[in-house]
Structure 1
Amino acid sequence: MSTSKNSTLHIVEFNKKDIPGLIELSESVGWDYDEHEIGTVMSSGKVIGHKNAEGRIVSSAAIIPYETSVASIGMVIVNKEYRGLGLGREATQQCMNSLSSYMDIMLISTEDGKPLYEKMGFQMVDHVHKYICDTYSSPNCLCETITVEQFKESDLHKIIKLDEAAFGDQRSNFLKNRINQSEECVVAKDNIGNIVGFGLSIGGPINLIIGPIVASDAQVASMILDKLAIGYQGKLRIDIPSGNEAFLKAVEKSGFINVSNPPIMMFHSTNMPERNGELFGIAAQVFG
């Protein structure tokens, strides 16, 4: 690094004392990370970035390694006064270097970030569909053979197994942290008591985030969404993987609007993790 700014920077792994500075960095680019969200990221993985000579955080990147073969990168942010110095690339590379060499790495990119990740060896493999809702309208999605009820601790093992098949890797540590963070966690059960889906809602400073949603089909996913969203007075957000056309139509009828379609990119792989088609809403872009 040759600039005077670079000579005063050092790269570190952040801890919980750094959360206020990370929130400030997030707000500087219009993102809405709060204390609880960053806490879940840190509990599930690590956050790395740069501080300047005054101790101010000027960049970040997060890595969340899951339990078998997949890791997710997100929260890649650089203060606008420090752009063009390679900080985002360095922080992201440091995250990648912390992993075992066999792990596939996933990230959901902004369009602006895509050229950087391509230079680092990532390849675009898919998209997610980001939906925002100002006023939610409940659909007629009842099914006599399905009930949606509040999560109980005894449901956790089944939720972890459902999520593993839907996401493509086991995420038990992350799911425990996410359920603890959630406003609400619900499960869908069939008429003999088998769990066929689940969903979470996460409060944030701007939106109530809905996800993950895992379900046996689009109708069950709609019932889970309805249980989490109905009666909420504020903005809602859900990020939906591609290939869920019936569910996309259902959320649009409920008042959601598609605002962007960020690319999913992979390193060490040219394909998404093997999934069973039952992931209808992701947890958040940082978690893949």
Structure 2
Amino acid sequence: MKVMEELIELHEEHIPGLLRLCRQAGWPDYGEQELRTLVQQGNLFGYQNRQEDIISCIGLFMYDSLASIGLVIVDNKYKRQGLGRRMVNACISQVDKDTSIMLCATKEGLPLYEKSGFQTACSIRKYSCQSFKPITKKHDFELTPFTEMDFRELVAADQAAFGGDRSTLLHDLISQSKESVIARNKEGKLIGYGLSAQTPDNLKFGPIIAPSPDFAAVLINRLAEGKQGPMRIDVPGDSALLHDSLEAMGFHLDDEPPLMLYQNKTLPPRNGQLFALISQGLG
């Protein structure tokens, strides 16, 4: 199978090709809306064959001093030709040396990432739920729907938890979300938030920012209660204390892929309040 030598930038007109790759890879979370967000918010690249069909893709997402690589797919017919390695190296070359680069590795991609200089830092816990069970936890904060007046405080809370500025991305995610919930304490200070989004295959939760695992569980319960159908949430591996609450709500641990960092770099300072990711690619 012949491949065009030049790595090209991918834009909205390439979404049908990206959708085909995601379906082939068995990644049902990515529909047209999700891919449009990735194209608009990140830098996506890929290779074409001689017929100009998209046969590989990769995404690079920048958040100040932190970068994330995701959506790494190579068409089954074009594997073992070095496309994945070339795409990963191209993304690395675009990132400043002082910027940390992270990615969530699949089992298939792990050897490639290790050869490219990535080391395992922690893990991501992938949970799914087929039948949600509401829980009751006492709390003394107020949960309200998001309004534009909340945005500045939400971004500040998110940056302290995530370690990078993703305000532009969050604005898009909130506008596309099924539900966006804000938590404020008795003094009226924003102390957490949570989003849910409907993907083609499930209701997905994230980000979840909260001062404690019990607090995060209350936010997840609020977003999930009364909803029908499959649900999913991706939780940082160091948030193990949330596990019991997720099990009580009917979630099951499906997988725990490694979160990797390039060349022994560390993540930017985080306050320990990130309890769910947007996605494995976006962080």
Note whether the superposition's TM-score is higher than 0.5: yes
Contact 1:40 1:181 in 2 (8 A): no
Partner of 1:13: 9
CA separation in 2, counterparts of 1:91 and 1:259? 28
CA separation in 2, counterparts of 1:182 and 1:50? 31
CA separation in 1, counterparts of 2:239 and 2:101? 23
- Among 215, 220, 223, the residue aligned to 1:220: 215
Partner of 2:112: 116
Contact 2:137 2:218 in 1 (8 A): yes
Relative to structure 1, the CA distance from residue 243 to residue 99 in structure 2 (aligned partners, 3 Å threshold; closer, same or farther) is: closer
Deviation of residue 76 (structure 1)? 0.1
Q: Does 1:141 align with 2:157?
A: no
Deviation of residue 154 (structure 1)? 0.8
- Among 31, 34, 40, the residue aligned to 1:34: 31
Deviation of residue 52 (structure 1)? 0.8
Contact 1:125 1:272 in 2 (8 A): no
- Among 255, 266, 272, the residue aligned to 1:271: 266
CA separation in 1, counterparts of 2:19 and 2:238? 33
Q: How many residues align?
A: 282
CA separation in 2, counterparts of 1:272 and 1:108? 13
2:97 counterpart SS class: coil
Q: Does 1:171 align with 2:166?
A: yes
TM-score by length of 1: 0.94
- Among 51, 73, 77, the residue aligned to 1:77: 73
1:246 counterpart SS class: helix
TM-score by length of 2: 0.96
2:243 counterpart SS class: helix
- Among 82, 91, 97, the residue aligned to 2:93: 97
More off after superposition, 76-85 vs 273-282: 273-282
Gaps of 5+ in 2: none
Q: Does 1:43 align with 2:29?
A: no
Deviation of residue 54 (structure 1)? 1.2
More off after superposition, 172-181 vs 202-211: 172-181
Partner of 1:159: 154
Q: Does 1:283 align with 2:254?
A: no
Contact 1:241 1:281 in 2 (8 A): yes
Percentage of matched positions with identical amino acids = 36
- Among 63, 67, 71, the residue aligned to 2:60: 63
Deviation of residue 243 (structure 1)? 2.4
Deviation of residue 111 (structure 1)? 1.6
Contact 2:100 2:267 in 1 (8 A): no
Gaps of 5+ in 1: none
CA separation in 1, counterparts of 2:240 and 2:112? 30
Tell me which amino acid in the other structure corresponds to 1:85: Q
CA separation in 2, counterparts of 1:182 and 1:268? 35
- Among 202, 206, 226, the residue aligned to 1:207: 202
